[in-house]
Amino acid sequence: MIYLDNAATTPVHPKVLKVMLPYLEKQYGNPSGIYEFAEKSKDVIDGVREIIAASINAKPEEIYFTSGGTESDNWALVGMAEALKDKGRHIITTSVEHHAVINTCEYLKQRGFDITYLDVGSDGIINPKQLIKSIRKDTILISIMAANNETGSIQPVQAIGRIAKGNNICFHTDAVQAYLHMDIDVNKMNIGMMSASAHKFRGAKGCGFLYIRNGIKPAIFMHGGKQESGIRAGTENVPGIAGMGEAVRIAMQDMHKDIVYVRNMRDYLLYRIEHEIPGVVLNGSRHMRLPGNLNVSFMGIEGQSLLIMLDMDGICTSSGSACTAGLGGGSHVLKALGASGDRLKGALRMTLGTQNTMEEMDYVVWRLKENVAALRGSD
């Protein structure tokens, strides 16, 4: 099998699994307990808090563990909306956000909040000048993803943060795709809140975090116990958190080397596709995109048919976000870029990881050439 769907999820690193197992088998104490056996679990999650904080130039007490990116996004948006509703009810986001943000914004809209969706260019990137024009006196939150899950296009995060800070508005970024795949410094980028999910960087599913800058106080989203400094209820996922810490440690060791490796492999794959298969359109920015992301449209074919044929060839890819697979209607992200017709129907997303090889890329190109030709009815 050749796995090219790393934007959907990544394989758990063997070292991560090894770190997790003791907390499933032997060291299973509840970190809220006050006896020594339980305090060992608390020590682990506090240690991971420090590891994550160091990776984004934050403070350990600014890291709050969650069940993943969707919860983190919901907490950031709903929490800030509830906390600041008396100050204002205007939120700015973009038309290409993950549905964890878009659907949460639609929920808030039903509750009386006004949502501005910024347009993007053909490269999938916003114009900061449009953001400035959209800010109002009652704007309480700017939520713009660091990098897109379908196209990999990277937003001008530092410019957005600077604009938000200049207008005294909290800036939340969904960094689920970007974290550990590009440099993120929450201070240099003036990020107020940031969402991340472990299974996007070779950790386990069901575990993530929300960075909340000191002084920012979203309303409590999960009600119950007093875990996570009393603002996120629920027993912490100790095995998942331990594994997430190890995944961060591994990624930080070789991040820049891995970025170069994956980007070179991606660029090789794109070069061969564009030069050996006619009727191909690149979706998203050619240069300002995540290193492992490749989203292309093959004109004149149905992308779903190509997916099935590639699956039969042992190649795992997707046509867009895994979270909206099967919904139909075409990608809202590609529509925002101006795609329609064949470009919308023939889209294929291939997202590479460090476990992939150049030899695999050669096989993928061969199968793409054969399958696209067959679908187009040519020899």
Tokens of 350: 């291939």
Strand 193-197 versus strand 208-212 pairing type: antiparallel
Query: What is the CB-side half-sphere exposure of residue 237 using CA atoms within 13 A?
Result: 19
* Helix (H), strand (E) at residue 93: strand 90-94
Taking CA atoms, 233 is separated from 53, 97, 224, 310, in Å, by: 21, 27, 5, 43
- Burial of 35 from C-beta contacts in 10 A (0-12 / 13-18 / 19+): exposed
Answer whether 90's CB lies under 8 Å from 140's CB: yes
- Is-catalytic flag, 316? no
Closest by Cα among 350, 145, 202, 157 to 267: 350
- Taking the C-alpha atoms of residue 149 and residue 200, their distance in angstroms, rounded to an integer, is 11
Active-site hit among 105, 170, 207, 323? 323
Task: Please name the residue that has the structure tokens 């910024």.
Answer: 118
- Taking the C-alpha atoms of residue 154 and residue 158, their distance in angstroms, rounded to an integer, is 11
Residue 117 forms beta bridges with which residues?
A: 93
Amino acid letter, 160 = I
Task: Please name the residue that has the structure tokens 């990544």.
Answer: 10
Query: What residues are annotated to the active site?
Result: 323
